[in-house]
Structure 1
């Protein structure tokens, strides 16, 4: 265990404060990018059970891009179906509808997967261990000072942030002064970093009180292994399948006067315990029975707060992410997902600036992209929570929430809540000028997954798996059918243009453009008519980089990719995918100079 003493001063490129999902996502990404990163946390040990648990389709895609999804998919609980229950004629509940849990034609993983937060964090710990990075625990920041020297703030090689650290398990006067280039505050809803910087939260608490239980139940409820929404005359409950035979119940407590202090309208915590929560849940489940077996794995009660920080950065040197930026209801499964996607967004940008590949201005896009997302998230959560918490419509209560209204909102919000519909607005790294070249690849949204086959061995591969999160921009060249002479001639001319000394590959490739750009070639040709060596060499840096829009040998997977992306096989297109998997721009062959202008708006030309 590292010890501190009053004389120690150190330097680091990035100091991350907080080792929850947001901090770990960023630390892991930076460590694998070769960045000098350090991560601290005040907790002596990590999360063992409970807390956040739902992983949305887009977050599974992101974890897969880092090679971390397989254990989650294998161990976690999957639920591709949602079920809706409402008051029945005899005072109990009846099922009114079953639907898919995710309404998205492009979700690679059209389902939610649940795993307790500690299990998710373990994925990152294992990956970080391989790079020699470990969380320094029982450590808190006690002071943070940002230089006011403009020249220092604008120098990406400077360390303008001074953070004082204190070990909670050592003597009071044992401190360390860390000089950091950048600091990320991922220290939760009560963020010390946010508070000490004076960043205010906008929003407020609702009057909605909820209890959460992770239990092994005994029940005859038929939809216990589905994502289930129950509106009853006794309150509202959400049923979440968990790994193994475990279940999580979100239980509305506002209807039970025993849980509410009549003077303040707040939670009467003295009356809240797992037994009482299960009693309330059992009433909602009537006429089905519900009993808790043994002790709960985890439980808590909470009041829904819906808040978003006014800003996410200070001088593009200190940033906040995750719950430090936004807090909301957990019932749409957004907290951990939004947090990790905050960090996924900023990690590659920090790496580019620290490598000297991009201007500091690139970091401004973190706040512009994720702050808008957070505000949209809070708006969504307000609407969703109101529908979820509202009383159901019955013959006696015609002003209540109807089943059709609730399910309609569930379907409408699915693209946003699943993460696959998140869209970033035009900026230096989102250029919509040539959207018509790929009409179904929305610039500013994540790259749509699709199965192609490798030309060399006809092995089926999802395009996502050909684009890992390795901090490189992906240059996807859709070349059409190269067995047609005229098409091949156009492709060869494009390859010459891309390989010319003045092309963006060489201009911003830092001396070896393969470090910055990963080129993939996609052909609209039959597997029986083309070899991978038929495309120009500069478009096939490796045999695995040439893909065909055709089916595999048994016609089980693949085909239809050009149509799915809205790209003409005759015209072709160049698609630029950012290191975080979002489409940055598309361009026709004749406008390679526009791609150069795109990178020129934030990248630094190679020196020498």
Structure 2
């Protein structure tokens, strides 16, 4: 299959330069920046370009859900993120009161049972800045302004069997705009001097030389109007609604007491939503009922401004006052639409992520979260195939998992956006239905309830072994105790996103001879030349290059003993833990119970992205080998 060039190069232009790269990312928003950071951290040769002259400085997406904070933590970014972000722990619901004005009906926590029991908000520019700073540590920089003008895919080298280290089948011609107009920052938002400096690779405005990039893989992270998606002929499937919303960011002056809470307000005057922001700001979403949507799906007539949006919000807030004496940081007007791409990849060589493959309303706070989760899912899979540790079929699971998620998100968003946009009428149950939907989809919204279906990398056959876990969901957090010094650890802190599979061996009480004997037998099988540890670790690589083994016994502090753990299961003394209450802090001791693991023990495989891949009985390490044989290259031939 050959993708046609969509632009014919001007023969008078200086001859193109030629370069090679593992992955070329088009678009440096949250999705593209996250992928560039993750791949750079994994040692992949990656380049990232963006057509904008500078990155955005205000507005756009801002909500980060608890699961995304967990992902940030797994990359060592959570502390930096939380330092600048606003935290939202409680949400409130308001409706029209019997005496006029609005009254609060419910006050409840944002989320329960999470390591991070809150949402956090930070402008998209702050997220992009965080990711750019982090990727720079691995020598990756955003090149901007730089635009792709043609893309073609070699028919011969695109076949699955040719996913070799020598194949660079995707050809992209890049060009730097010769005359770039000042970048616009949303709608009338101010441009920050802090982001006006060019990237190290920026070059002069008169540099129009083309460059030919030959890549193993190209990823389109270039937004809802993706150039990459169009270049490879992928369609967006879905529709727009007639719901129009306005958004304003500002530092408020108000007598409304719940400005620092997440508020959903349903009134006879219309609907609005408050989201607390960093630097004393709030974001207000307002449903605009008197705005016409044309047949083309675009707004008819003159567009409303921020003062118009605030005026509508003030009607919803009555009898409370709400004003913006310092002006507006950013604002926009948008039409709610829900669309999913017909495909997320072409021959596993060209991929799309983020808004390039799914668009939806922003009010459930899913935009950046879904986009960066796409990147998180794809990054380790690309790394494995590029390293020749896995066949190219591993890349099939990106679309399989993330397209199903995107469709689930759209289906949810259709319900949520409608409930948010319908003005309540006396006696109707819209508010109750809104609350019901919020509770029903709560785990999905927060990211904890995202579940991948059975596949080569998600084996649900033995789920009863750990009945408290949902295979295909992210592994839940929990406190365990390090044997050597009795120091408590959050399990998630032991599961960094370093592209390794985490093998959690839960042998039960190893002070009991029966369980100790079973653990010794497991260790012998794992350490055998045909065991999964040696079978799927590349020749010459360290023993822990692919697998990080962590042992968690169900033993008291008094009975704990690092010598009870076989040496092959201890790449370092810090890899041995117990599930018990700590002696000082009196925390922990519930991991086995919460995971539904009996005293017979279990083995849990946690994927590089933090999702449970499979579980097996303690004496069934052969099942672990069969699991990895489905998608990893073996160093030896073993009978199935």
**TM-score normalised to structure 1 length:** 0.95
- For 1:441 and 1:530, how far apart are their aligned partners in 2? 26
- For 2:595 and 2:206, how far apart are their aligned partners in 1? 60
In the alignment, is the contact (CA less than 8 A) between 1:91 and 1:233 conserved in 2? no
In the alignment, is the contact (CA less than 8 A) between 1:216 and 1:247 conserved in 2? yes
What CA deviation, in whole Å up to 9, does each residue of 1:60-81 have, x standing for no partner? 1111100001122222111111
| 2:622 aligned residue (570, 593, 606) | 593
Secondary structure of 1:180 counterpart: strand
| 1:185 aligned residue (208, 216, 220) | 220
| 1:155 aligned residue (138, 142, 162) | 162
The answer for the alignment partner of 1:432 in structure 2 is 460
The answer for the alignment partner of 2:183 in structure 1 is none
**1:552 shift after superposition:** 2.2
The answer for the alignment partner of 2:527 in structure 1 is 499
Secondary structure of 1:497 counterpart: helix
**1:552 and 2:586 are equivalent in the alignment:** no
Which 10-residue stretch deviates more, 75-84 or 467-476? 75-84
In the alignment, is the contact (CA less than 8 A) between 1:390 and 1:401 conserved in 2? no
- For 2:579 and 2:296, how far apart are their aligned partners in 1? 63
| 2:144 aligned residue (137, 142, 167) | 137
The answer for the alignment partner of 2:89 in structure 1 is 80
In the alignment, is the contact (CA less than 8 A) between 1:239 and 1:250 conserved in 2? yes
- For 1:220 and 1:150, how far apart are their aligned partners in 2? 65
Spell out structure 1 runs of 4+ moving beyond 6 A: 261-265
Secondary structure of 1:498 counterpart: helix
Which 10-residue stretch deviates more, 25-34 or 542-551? 542-551
In the alignment, is the contact (CA less than 8 A) between 1:12 and 1:180 conserved in 2? yes
What CA deviation, in whole Å up to 9, does each residue of 1:273-319 have, x standing for no partner? 11111111111100111111212111111001110001100000000
- For 1:5 and 1:19, how far apart are their aligned partners in 2? 27
The answer for the alignment partner of 1:514 in structure 2 is 544
The answer for the alignment partner of 1:14 in structure 2 is 23
In the alignment, is the contact (CA less than 8 A) between 2:269 and 2:423 conserved in 1? no
What is the count of residue pairs matched by the alignment? 595
**1:288 and 2:320 are equivalent in the alignment:** yes
- For 2:218 and 2:580, how far apart are their aligned partners in 1? 46
Q: Which runs of 5+ in 1 are unaligned?
A: none
Secondary structure of 2:142 counterpart: coil
In the alignment, is the contact (CA less than 8 A) between 2:160 and 2:393 conserved in 1? no
User: Measured at CA, do residues 262 and 234 of structure 1 come closer, stay the same or move farther in structure 2, by a change above 3 Å?
Assistant: farther
Secondary structure of 1:295 counterpart: coil
| 1:319 aligned residue (351, 369, 377) | 351
User: Measured at CA, do residues 153 and 180 of structure 1 come closer, stay the same or move farther in structure 2, by a change above 3 Å?
Assistant: farther
**1:121 shift after superposition:** 1.1
- For 1:541 and 1:42, how far apart are their aligned partners in 2? 46
Which 10-residue stretch deviates more, 408-417 or 265-274? 265-274
The answer for the alignment partner of 1:568 in structure 2 is 598
| 2:505 aligned residue (474, 477, 487) | 477
Q: Which runs of 5+ in 2 are unaligned?
A: 1-12, 179-204
- For 1:191 and 1:6, how far apart are their aligned partners in 2? 27
**1:607 shift after superposition:** 7.3
Secondary structure of 2:56 counterpart: coil
Secondary structure of 1:411 counterpart: helix
Alpha-carbon RMSD across the aligned residues, in angstroms, is 1.7
**1:150 shift after superposition:** 5.5
In the alignment, is the contact (CA less than 8 A) between 1:40 and 1:135 conserved in 2? yes
